[in-house]
């Protein structure tokens, strides 16, 4: 089940981009998953939901597309919560 490895890498990339503290503000991880990517989208969704569950509150939002795409399209953060924490 390589979907778990992919989910771990997506989480690592999000942490790298947002910083360790920024993961607390992560709300949504947007993904494109191609039908020829070799990834079982339902398994990847399950793995990401498990990894992004509390203490984080993020959820994956997948768009199934044609081709072999597998990419993070966006990271949505709660800006209001970030401001409260920084103050």
Model pLDDT for residues 72-84, shown as the tens digit of each residue: 999 999 877 544 4
Instruction: Return the CATH number at 45.
Output: 3.30.2320.50
**What is the domain count for the chain?**
1
The whole domain housing 21 covers 3-86
Cα within 13 Å of Cα(58), Cβ side:
29
Q: Which two tokens stand for residue 22?
A: 């920024």
What 15-18 contacts at long range (C-beta under 8 Å, 24+ apart), as own/partner pairs, is 17/75, 18/75, 18/77
Task: Note the pLDDT tens digit of each residue in 15-38.
Answer: 899 887 777 899 999 999 999 999
- Comparison of pLDDT for 85 and 64, the residue scoring more: 64
3-state secondary structure of 18: helix
Characterize 23-54 residue by residue with b for buried, 16 or more Cβ atoms within 10 angstroms of its Cβ, and e for exposed: bbbbbbbebebbeebebebeebbbbbeebbee
Residue 85's pLDDT is what? 47
Q: Is the pTM of this model over 0.85?
A: no
């Amino acid at each position: 089940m390589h979907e778990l490895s992919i989910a771990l890498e997506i989480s690592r990339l999000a942490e790298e981009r947002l910083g360790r503290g920024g993961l607390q503000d992560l709300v949504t991880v947007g993904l494109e998953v191609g039908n020829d990517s070799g990834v079982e989208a339902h398994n990847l969704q399950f793995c990401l939901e498990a990894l992004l569950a509390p203490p984080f509150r993020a959820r994956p939002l997948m768009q199934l597309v044609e081709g072999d795409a597998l990419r993070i399209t966006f990271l949505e953060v709660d800006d209001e919560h970030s401001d409260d924490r920084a103050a």
